[in-house]
Amino acid sequence: MDGQELLSRVARQSDETEFYTPMPAGYKPGKTRYVIVVGTVMSGLGKGIFSSSLAKLMQDRGLVVSPIKLEGYLNIDSGTLNPFRHGEVFVLDDGMETDMDLGTYERMLDKNLTRDNFATSGQIFTRVLERERRGGYLGRDVQWIPHVTGEVKARIRELAVRSGADVVFVEIGGTVGDYENSYYIEAMRELAFEEGPNSTIWVALTYVMQPPALGEQKSKAAQLGIKRLMEAGVQPAVIACRCETPVTEKVREKISLYTNVPMARVFSMHDCKSIYEIPQMIRKAGLDAEAVRLLELEPRTDAAKSERFWTQWQGYVEGIRNVNESDREVVIGITGKYTALRDSYASIIKALEHAGVHYGVRVEIRWIDTSDLDDTPGKAKDVARALEGVHGIIVPGGFGARGSEGKIACIHYARENGLPYLGICFGFQMAVLEFARNVCGLPGAYSSELEKRVDGDAVIDILPEQKRIEGLGGNMRLGGRDIELKPGTMAHEMFGRQATFRMRFRHRYEVDPRYIETLESHGMVFSGKAPDQPIMQILELPGHPYFIGTQAHPCLTSRPLRPQPMFMGLVRTSAERAGVPVAEQAVGS
């Protein structure tokens, strides 16, 4: 049975066939190829980094690529996940709250993704149950195979149609052997079978151990992990080996022998200074060319375009190496409460790196836990000590009261001592409270998110139209929105004197419009607002070297070759405070 005949059977949804996949309108068998990336041994090895790096190289060759992350958890999205457990929540322009790997894809591919690029078990099961209630299974008893796996395949093919992709990259969360992702692997095995030869390649990311006590690399865990994948009916075409140091030829030979994967496609993905070096490692190993060959996509590639983009990327990576070797250092303090897990602030870390490379300075991050800091008399020395040697600070987003008074104390210090400051979302709100308390004569200013009071001034509150929307997460302002910029302000200049600028939001509380006049009369400037609404979205303090806050999350749209302006401003003024010369680098030109 050839691929065309098989897909014809697949499209027939009746009790006469066991082949079940609801085929999306417009799907053309044979047009789209698939790269499926799975993990073995343990999670957190960098499947998204490898997948996005290979996707970038194939995109640079002129191919249209589109990624999708398949998560095993039952949540509909990532919005309610604790950053300590799962890293930061990355918000797409269309408002979808996703896994942080979607941020890696956006930065590496320099493109905005949508909710089509993210799926959870909760979404898949919801589709199955809704279809069953509508009678969409024609009286059949609904089973894992073929119906649940059929919905997964349908979701992948829908992405192929909507994106017009030459290649869809499918990243399966977790590791081989997890119960929650086993049906994803089965679904992709079925899809590869249905699509036919040269349609799909599997990449297994594994871990080569290097116990210090032994002094040598051990591959047995990697072999056994890949064996589990092969037991599921999957033969990987590429194996990416994570290790602290380059994987030895002896270890690669062992893995090749036990997995039937040629040595040339057993790739050492060892530790490096920046994830942006991974595309260079993949290209040097020839894996991108091999993937194009295996998928028979050579006729669709553009060699000239590939070289042009590759030169740009090499310029950026060279910029990273230059700043890492430079003595031009700027120390930025990130004052938050999730500082124990760096992945909680992954986008901020990357945005600082992008801006640092642009200005040719190395940005060192100092993590400052604000849980034990506050602004009460006698604690000011503690705050000054915590910020000693810091050239600029960021108060990032967050939810809840813990650490909030410490953040306000840091903002107070930054405002009074000319320390460059960038407030992001919650940091914007805390800057408003600090100013209201210490400048506007409103000592009782508070946020109704953090405490419920009958006295004082709820300067930060949920607006009436937000209060009418019920349900946790349901009344969030999510996704990309235009910001109307006030002419003549720092924000207006920063964003190229545009009338509006688009950023992404994830918040529920706002500056209460009743206090805007009071705040502005005491010197605070709201330089950005929601069009046609009294919702303040950017603030700044004239006369301060750099004091700016935004209700948005500017870090979500920073890209290696297009650093976000607010982070560029923070790094530049922090460098000036440190006495470090800056020079705009021609990276990517």
Helix (H) or strand (E) holding 129: helix 121-133
Residues 325, 268: one domain? no
What pLDDT sits at residue 140?
86
371 and 341, same structural domain? yes
Say whether both 57 and 83 belong to one domain: yes
The answer to whether 98 and 73 have CB atoms below 8 angstroms apart is no
Total domains present in the chain = 2
- Predicted local distance difference test score (pLDDT) of residue 474: 47
> Do 489 and 446 belong to one domain?
yes
Q: Is residue 1 part of a domain?
A: no
As to burial, measured by CB atoms within 10 angstroms (0-12 exposed, 13-18 middle, 19+ buried), residue 245 is exposed
What is residue 554's DSSP assignment? Answer: G
- Cα gap 526→195, rounded to integer Å: 55
Q: Cβ–Cβ contacts within 10 Å for residue 167, how many?
A: 24
Domain shared by 323 and 290, yes or no: no
Tell me what pLDDT residue 176 has. Answer: 95
What pLDDT is attached to residue 472? 44
**Does the residue 508 lie in any domain?**
yes
Nearest in space to 501 (alpha carbons), one of 511, 522, 486 = 486
Residue at a domain's end among 297, 328, 346: 297
Which residues does 526 contact at the CB level (< 8 Å), separation at least 6? 486, 511, 516, 519, 520, 536, 537, 538, 539
Q: Are residues 187 and 321 in the same domain?
A: no
Q: What is the pLDDT of residue 452?
A: 85
Closest CA to 397 of 356, 438, 449, 436: 449
- Whether residue 365 sits in one domain with residue 262: no
Q: Residue 22: its pLDDT value, please?
A: 83
Could you tell me whether strands 547-550 and 510-511 are parallel, antiparallel, or unpaired per DSSP bridges? unpaired
Write the CA distances from 349 to 80, 104, 342, 365, integer angstroms. Answer: 22, 12, 8, 8
117 to each of 25, 92, 509, how far by Cα in Å? 18, 10, 28
Kind and range of the H or E run holding 395: strand 392-395
pLDDT at 241: 97
Q: What is the pLDDT of residue 470?
A: 42
What's the CATH code of the domain at 455?
3.40.50.880
Distance CA 384, CA 1 (A): 74
Q: What are the residue ranges of helices labelled H in 346-403?
A: 346-359, 380-386
Does residue 333 fall inside a structural domain? Answer: yes
CA distance 70 to 246: 29
In a domain, 5, yes or no: no
CA distance 282 to 328: 30
Where does a domain end: 297, 323, 358? Answer: 297
Looking at residue 586, its pLDDT comes to 55
Judge if 150 and 286 occupy the same domain: yes
Q: How far apart are CA 277 and CA 162, in angstroms?
A: 31
What is the rounded distance in angstroms from the CA atom of residue 274 to the CA atom of residue 327?
Answer: 18
From 297, 331, 355, the end of a domain falls on: 297
Q: Give residue 87's domain range.
A: 36-297
pLDDT confidence of residue 80 = 87
Assign residue 132 the CATH number of its domain. Answer: 3.40.50.300
* Cα–Cα distance list, 237 to 54, 60, 231, 266 (Å): 14, 22, 15, 9
302 belongs to a structural domain: no
Residue 31 included in any domain: no
| pLDDT of res. 86 | 78
User: Of 369, 347, 284, 360, which Cα lies nearest the Cα of 319?
Assistant: 360
* Amino acid at residue number 88: E
Instruction: Assess contact for 357 and 380: CB atoms under 8 A.
Output: no
What's 144-190 look like in SS3?
A: HHHHHHHHHHHHHHHHHHHHCCCEEEEEECCCCCCHHHHHHHHHHHH
Identify the pLDDT of residue 400: 74
Are residues 333 and 274 located together in one domain of the fold? no
Claim to verify: residue 525 and residue 419 sit in the same structural domain: yes
Q: Which residues of the chain have pLDDT under 70?
A: 1-18, 338-341, 374-380, 463-475, 585-589
Determine the number of helices (DSSP H) and then strands (DSSP E) in the chain: 20, 21
Within this chain, do residues 124 and 245 fall inside the same structural domain, yes or no? yes
Q: Is residue 10 part of a domain?
A: no
Residue 7 in tokens: 């897909």
Specify whether 269 is located in the same domain as 322: no
Q: What are the angstrom distances between the C-alpha of 112 and each of 126, 355, 389?
A: 26, 20, 37
Please report whether residue 453 resides in a domain. Answer: yes
Question: 470: exposed, middle or buried (C-beta count within 10 Å: 0-12, 13-18, 19+)?
Answer: exposed
